[in-house]
Chains A and B, each alone.
Chain A
Amino acid sequence: MAGITLRDLTKIYDNNFEAVKSINLEIEDGEFMVLVGPSGCGKTTTLRMIAGLEDISGGELYIGGELMNKVDPRDRNIAMVFQNYALYPYMSVYDNMAFGLKLQKFDKKEIKRRIDEAAKILDISEQLDKKPKALSGGQRQRVALGRAIVRHPQVFLMDEPLSNLDAKLRVQMRAELIKLHEDLQTTFVYVTHDQTEAMTMGSRICVMDLGQIKQVATPEEIYSKPDNLFVAGFIGSPQMNFYKGTLSEEMGAYHLEGENEEYDAFRFSIDISDQESVAPYLNKEIIFGIRPEHLMFTDGEGLRAKIFVIELLGSEVNVHIRVQGDIHTVTTDAGTHFKAGDAVTVVPKPGRIHLFDPETENAIRY
């Protein structure tokens, strides 16, 4: 087992494209770190640099305290699970799992012991003699995991391992991976573009965009205290609603005001506990965000808007409204009797507004 340290890690491809821009990250020993971000954000490149499958253009990579920049992938004692499983099709499940151990010259008894142990954990004991093509997608993914487990590596790397599975199986495998991490207590680095996977699985999440780290924090913190506009928008589904408005103060009470096209300008009150931090933004344009689940309907004053469309999800309903030229979402309990075209008024739940600097796009803590 080992922690991983990335220090100013950089990847520049031959065509001068900078895929990873001098990132710093400390992954604790035994941690489940999820790298998440949109396509092309550099998360897979980062993972591949940790694996040694991609040369490091700059910076340093330490695994278990040892500098790994020039160490061959096979000497890093790392296992990797690939998106498309990458099982050897002409080998049985057993031989697939034994491949790495045979190369390390383990004796047959030990190989069998480890494979039986892993097969038991993953519930594939019955499949050991079969060829990969005889297995379902979920079973194949388990074999891929098994191949990693038997090696007892100090770090597990996973590159979108669930994205080829159907929705139901994905949820099931998600839970199994969490359980596996709990059982093994080994460092996991997991890459995904799916923020639900990131939120449910990671002990910590590293959100990346355009080759940079945008925030590293626990799922709760990422959700409730996003560091910037990108993280606020990327994490959470449906995504956070953003508004342009002005922050004003009247006799110690703070308000956010915004234009609202065909309706009157809206005005939300906001509790500010750190007045110094918001002082530079008073009476200036500011961006504020409210998550769909933190908006509620009211009969009183608030943001007036017309319903664009209603999505029934079963236990809850997403009501899409048109505000400031954008479609915003309000998530509410099922059983609402609104219909498209109705005009409604919404207000944020207390303490649920996020403020952002319009220039730096960084969050303003208040």
Chain B
Amino acid sequence: MNRLKTSTLFKIVMILYLFIILFPFIWVAITSFRPESEIWGSNALDLSEANFTLENYRLVFQTPILNSLKNSLIISGITTIYVTLVASLGAYAIARLDFKFKKLLTVIVLAVSMFPQMIVIGPIYRMFVQLGWTNSYYISLPYSNITLPVATFILITHFAQIPKEMEESATMDGSSKINTFFKIVLPLAAPGIFTAAIIVFIGAWNEFLLSLTLNTNEAWRTATVNISFLRGQFEIFWGQVTAATVIVTIPTLIIVILFQRQIVSGLTSGALKE
């Protein structure tokens, strides 16, 4: 009886907790379908009187949201491809090759991700201005600042798990080191690569500060920055902001739903003996 009570109590707490966590997301979604006049005030929480509308979406699509989505997609795509490639090679070297100062290098890789962005943004901006790289897709390069260390770490653990004999066997079969890496090691580390790639993509997709600072021209803005510009002189168009947020979230949501199995197996593999 006691056990039943505890389990019921536990379930109630969990449902409550889940509701608190999910509420802002649900509210964003609901708000995006409501007219600006109903978002604030005492009736805001009363959904029975709500006049649902697509007006916010119509207005958002009149802004350059699609262009910013395209920018986000290209920048995140480029970042994902090159960061995953660089992280794979780096992680493989750290996991497999013997060289001096390997541990120090690993720590430095991790340390890079610990610099607050506000500190590095200044020098990066100066550099970009000097190089004439502002308002371009070169912004993918500093994005590695956020994503490369994480991707490298995820991949180090995956490469370390692959039995050395696999590579040695390929070597004995006459395979060169680079051929072994691409033909044997990468396919075996596929779950890790997927995980790293998705985490990199989401990180790049959600990036705000670098994009705001480096790509100031409206034509080069990314989606997250574009949302922050949905405001008038004295007000913020919350209806449009929420509608844009929903639109911007959809691509990442699709990716996560499609690849959630790979993400979970990638994040947990190696935890247990296989």
Chain A interface (Cβ within 8 Å of chain B)?
14, 51, 53, 73-74, 78-80, 82-84, 86, 88-90, 99-100, 103-104, 147, 151
Contacts and interface: CB of A to CB of B under 8 A. Distances in A.
Contacts of A104: 174
Contacts of B176: 74
Contacts of B188: 88-90
A103 B168 CA distance: 15
Contact of B169 (A86, A89, A90): A86
Contacts of A51: 168, 172
B212 interface: no
A86 B173 contact: no
B163 A100 contact: no
B165 interface: yes
Interface string B170-200: 1111111001000010011000000000000
Nearest to B172: A80
B173 A103 contact: yes
B15 interface: no
A82 B171 CA distance: 13
Nearest to B173: A100
Contacts of A89: 188
A82 B174 contact: no
Q: How large is the interface on B (under 10, 10 to 19, 20 to 34, 35 or more residues)?
A: 10 to 19
Given A86-B166, A88-B166, A89-B188, A103 B172 contact: no
Nearest to B168: A53
Given A88-B184, A103-B179, A73 B171 contact: yes
A135 to B, nearest CB: 16
A73 to B, nearest CB: 5
- Most chain A CB within 10 A, of B165, B176, B188, is at B165
3 A-B pairs with least C-beta separation = A100-B173, A86-B165, A86-B169
A90 B187 contact: yes
B169 to A, nearest CB: 4
A14 B99 CA distance: 12
Nearest to A157: B172
Contacts of A88: 166, 170, 184, 187-188
Contacts of A83: 165
B165 to A, nearest CB: 4
B166 A147 contact: no
A104 B163 CA distance: 24
Contacts, number: 53
Contacts of B165: 82-84, 86
Contacts of B172: 51, 53, 73-74, 78-80, 100
A82 B172 CA distance: 11
B274 to A, nearest CB: 11
Contact of A82 (B98, B168, B175, B187): B168
Contacts of B166: 86, 88
A73 B170 CA distance: 10
27 contacts: A51-B168, A51-B172, A73-B171, A74-B171, A74-B173, A74-B174, A78-B172, A79-B172, A82-B165, A82-B168, A86-B165, A86-B166, A86-B168, A88-B166, A88-B170, A88-B184, A88-B187, A90-B187, A99-B173, A99-B175, A100-B172, A100-B174, A100-B175, A103-B179, A104-B174, A147-B169, A151-B173
B182 to A, nearest CB: 13
Given A84-B165, A103-B173, 17 more contacts: A14-B98, A51-B168, A53-B168, A53-B172, A74-B174, A74-B175, A74-B176, A84-B163, A86-B166, A86-B169, A88-B166, A88-B188, A90-B187, A99-B175, A100-B175, A103-B175, A104-B174
Contacts of B163: 84, 86
Interface string B144-183: 0000000000000000000101101111111110010000
Nearest to A159: B165
Nearest to B184: A88
Contacts of B169: 80, 82, 86, 147
Contacts of B98: 14
Contacts of A103: 173-175, 179
B99 to A, nearest CB: 12
Nearest to A144: B169
A147 B169 CA distance: 10
B3 to A, nearest CB: 40
A78 B173 CA distance: 8
B174 to A, nearest CB: 4
A70 to B, nearest CB: 15
- Most chain A CB within 10 A, of B166, B170, B172, is at B172
Nearest to A82: B165
Contacts of A73: 171-172
B170 A99 contact: yes
A73 B176 CA distance: 10
A84 B168 CA distance: 12
Given A86-B163, A88-B184, A90-B187, A147 B168 contact: no
A109 B173 CA distance: 19
B174 A80 contact: no
Contacts of A100: 172-175
Contacts of A151: 173
Contacts of B170: 88, 99
